[in-house]
Structure 1
């Protein structure tokens, strides 16, 4: 059965009272989910301990760690915009996504040889270039493969698969740490290098899963090369971008959450188990949350997720013991499970089918470009510069929590309540 026929089949099985089921999702959604599962096994094993390697082994300051993360996302952002537009122009989502995953997989072995923050940064940036190439075409491929009534479920399922891989990857890393250095507070270089080597296998399995399992979908509408125009995407989408941008400016890299845990004397093994539990919460929440957004609207789920985020960040600001950070980080998974996949689904609600790749590129570029100042500001605030002097590690979390509250209020009272397209699912 062709992928287009599978989409039609899903439509036929949807009655007015029917609730979409995971098993009814088409082949592409499963292929992308499996790819996300394998790549996150690989990425979460390594990327979560990169800030610890930078801090513990290389003695790098938090401002530099924030700079590395910020530049990584900024570099990827430009490519997300271009690759999304290119996938609209050519109609070829799959091979752009495969190329992006392949580049990320090929970059990972170089972490093994990195001995300075500049080299770590270079490898990190190459990995993000791969993410920049693949993200928008991959998300557009998922949106092309399902109907509006199953869009939230599809993106929630993809997020759940992604985070299930993260759970497994982090547990593998935790086992490696336990076998090599037990419950030490500081990460060692040999442990880091061993984890890098293990991560290579699932990285290449991710590439094979998408290469073999996915197919491009022909969607209605002409595949003329779209001109990039925010005005052409409509006011609801532009309003959505502004609100997401405000939230993102306070959403610094999770490296700072990891460093906050270590700052309060949580061991490396304790951090990895904490991260595994956090990702497990996302895995359990994301799919039912996505399905719920198909029935009650995206807005409510996003607002709820952002309010949870604000409370968690305020908790990080005032935490004084390691167990408090541990509990907060695990609960942080509720935000991700509720809001992240739902915002991805909302993008497709707001734009025409032939602009989906460009819209996902624009959305991801906005988030990625703002991740640079977000992480750099967080690093500076952590070191107690300017009007935040004296707050130390609490400052970036207070800043992020306040912006999340502002974004939630704007989503509640400024965001248009209906999708921009006739026949699309409501976004309220």
Structure 2
């Protein structure tokens, strides 16, 4: 039996998603603070949230990495040294950097572990060896690399390597895009991306309909789990610091199952199909293997105009509190007596449940309740093991295109 296993690394937009990620199987999470990162539009973590997040993660033997991966101007560097000292003081397990100047500040002001961001476009072992000399402990390689190429870099340079294995992809080389600068006056490389590449465009003086030609399909690595082990990819990273708790829960649960099943020798076509089906339930663009096996080509372009809401199920809500008798749900969709829901525990099978009773937080019986509300349902025997931060989806399915699952032995 193979006892070595890669880390499963998940995104966390805020404290709720951090807890969801860890409870659903993530070994580590990456988060952003209020400054210095590339996801300025995410909720991001206050200093207080970071302290609480680290305490929660370490309680479950998980790690927390903080993104300092924006390309900073001199004025942006103000306070970075003090911030690094704060991160070290609360036990942050590492920081993710792109810029050599930021790396230098981190090293001068703290003893934090440094991970090199994919934005730095590390694509070969010579580059990896240089970054290692600079004090980098882990490389998050450019998404242009295959699993085999990444494994070879790790082997030649003697440094840990990390890959994105699921989520949204950028059309630009290693994310070095300036479209948002021109369309919205926001610098993508300093945290201001508005995803202008996802929009339909029409060529001037042509009568053709608008098309999307820069929007990438979403990445998934379901069929590459064997290769991740074979090539000693130390960390498997899920994209999505702007995504919902539903997305975080379903992706963590799926890849946790894959990693554990590979270690146990229990991967079957049926398991792969079930995992693929659950990943189809979350909002996504069509899935693609990107460059995990071969260089991405025109087949990796998402040419639809319908956006990314192609999931088969609607995210209903999340359990925010429990008592011995009731579960309190924060709803994102309306709910009525008679509706059928699916409760998705961190471990075990999905629970199908028909709503027979709804109560307000004051204990009043309800026939229905609108979205963005809190409602209680009875905690019957089958729901006794359901705890806070469990996600729930509606049972009814939407009709969407389902790409063929590619598998290999």
TM-score scaled by length of structure 1: 0.27
Bigger helix share: 1
The structure with the largest alpha-carbon Rg is: 2
